Structures are given as C-alpha cells and as structure tokens.
C-alpha cells in the first residue's frame, strides 16, 4: 500500500514538473512573439494553454484522491497540500504567458513594444524561463539550495520591472499613453510569473523541511 501511495505521489510530482516546463516554454515563445511580432508563435501559445489547464485539473484530482483515500500524515500530507497549491501557481504562470501572447496578437502586425523597452523584455523573458526551469528541477529533485537561489533571480526580475517605470516616467517619453499602458501591464505579467515560480520553490522547501521560508525583505 505504501509503495503504491508513493508511486502516485511521484506521478503527481512529475505532472507538476511538466507544468513548469510547459509554462517556461510558453513564456519563451510568448516573449519571442512579443519582440518580433510573430503571430503564428502567439497563436501557438494561446492554443497550448489548455494543456497546462488540463494538467492542473489532473494534478488536483490526484491530490484530492490521495487525501480522501490514503489519509496521509506528516511529510506525506505536506507533499499533497504543497502540490495542490503549486498546481495553482503553475497554471497561473501559463495564464501569464497567455496574456503576453494575446498582447502580441492584439497589436499584430505592429509591434507592441517601443524600441526603448524591448531589451528589458528580452531580459525579463530570459529570467522567466530560467525561473521556470529552476522550479522544475526543484520539484523533481527537492533541491532546497536551488530553491533559495531562485530568490536572486526574482530580485533581478523586480529590478527590471522597476527600471521600466524609470524609462516611461522620463519626460522625453515620446510614445503616449497607450504604449505606456501596454508596457505597464506586460511588465506586471513577467513580474508575477517570477513570483509564482518562487512560490512553487518555497512550497517545496516547506514540503521537505516542514517550515515555510521567511518571506524576502521588500
């Protein structure tokens, strides 16, 4: 019975890792669509979002089944609860990539981003992909050290997000209100993507240690 239970738990873990991989790939493609005005790539991200949604549904069904039928305790209970919350975070990461892709589609054939801010988003896309890949490794390997190092990448994303406002608040900003609104919303999508990735890592720390790490200082 215990062997079968832990096999199901590992299967649940694998689905979470797959969600993280798909979310990272979606944000990578969405970023390319955003920077290059690639409509086909944007449509690919939009149509594939249902794959992440389906994995969340499957992960939650498995987790609730383990709670109902196995009555886990201690570390096993932490694992199931962490998985339920992580599935929500990972699904939200997919949604944020979806929002970026929809912005690229909405402005096609024009580019969404003014040239001044495009390099920021290229870097934000790189950081987002790194965080999704790291979250996958943390999930698969229960790598606590990697989980803690993800905080520094999240800080880098926050810095990039803040710098966007520096550019837009410059009195020489020539692009008007609509592009500023687009940049503000898109920057928020990337910043939240990073936050959700770090939240997944923090839940793995909780799962392994029984303690939720202290929140980072603002």
Instruction: Give the model confidence (pLDDT) of 176-213 as tens digits.
Output: 888 999 999 999 999 999 999 999 999 999 988 888 77
Instruction: Give the model confidence (pLDDT) of 109-136 as tens digits.
Output: 999 999 999 999 999 999 999 999 999 9
Degrees to nearest 5, angle at CA 9 with 131 and 214: 45
Degrees to nearest 5, angle at CA 205 with 199 and 207: 105
CA distance 180 to 160: 16
In eight-state DSSP terms, residue 147 is: H
Give the chain's count of helices (H) and strands (E): 6, 0
Inter-residue contact 192 to 96 (CB < 8 Å): yes
Residue 2 has a pLDDT of 63
CA distance 178 to 67: 48
- pLDDT surpassing 50 at residue 218: no
CA distance 153 to 149: 7
Q: Which of 80, 77, 15 is nearest to 52 (CA)?
A: 15
Burial of 174 (0-12, 13-18, 19+ CB in 10 A): exposed
Residue 9 has a pLDDT of 86
CA distance 151 to 165: 22
Q: Which two tokens stand for residue 73?
A: 């305790």
> pTM (2 decimals)?
0.93
- pLDDT surpassing 50 at residue 74: yes
Structure-token match 């290059």, residue found: 36
- Band of pLDDT at residue 217, cut at 50, 70 and 90: very low
Q: Which two tokens stand for residue 102?
A: 């929809």
* Mean predicted lDDT score pLDDT of the chain: 92
* CA dihedral sign of residues 105, 184, 53, 16: positive
C-beta neighbour count of 72 within 10 angstroms = 16
The architecture in CATH of the region 2-209 reads Up-down Bundle (1.20)
Q: Which two tokens stand for residue 138?
A: 């943390």
Instruction: Output phi, psi for 37, to 5 deg.
Output: 65, 35
Rg (CA), the chain: 19
Q: Which two tokens stand for residue 82?
A: 């962490």
């Amino acid at each position: 019975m215990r062997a079968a239970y832990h096999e199901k738990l590992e299967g649940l873990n694998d689905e979470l890792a797959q969600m993280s991989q798909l979310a990272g790939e979606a944000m990578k493609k969405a970023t390319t669509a955003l920077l290059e005005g690639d409509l086909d790539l944007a449509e690919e991200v939009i149509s594939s979002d249902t794959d992440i949604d389906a994995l969340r549904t499957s992960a939650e069904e498995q987790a609730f089944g383990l709670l109902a039928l196995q009555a886990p305790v201690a570390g096993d209970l932490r694992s199931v609860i962490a998985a339920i919350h992580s599935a929500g975070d990972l699904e939200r990461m997919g949604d944020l990539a979806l929002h970026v892709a929809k912005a690229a589609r909405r402005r096609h054939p024009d580019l969404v981003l003014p040239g001044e801010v495009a390099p920021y988003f290229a870097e934000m896309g790189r950081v987002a992909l790194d965080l999704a890949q790291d979250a996958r490794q943390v999930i698969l390997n229960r790598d606590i050290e990697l989980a803690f190092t993800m905080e520094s990448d999240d800080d880098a994303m926050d810095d990039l997000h803040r710098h966007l406002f520096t550019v837009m608040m410059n009195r020489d900003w020539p692009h008007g209100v609509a592009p500023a609104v687009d940049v503000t919303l898109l920057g928020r999508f990337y910043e939240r993507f990073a936050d959700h990735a770090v939240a997944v890592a923090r839940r793995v720390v909780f799962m392994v240690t029984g303690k939720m790490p202290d929140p980072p200082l603002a």
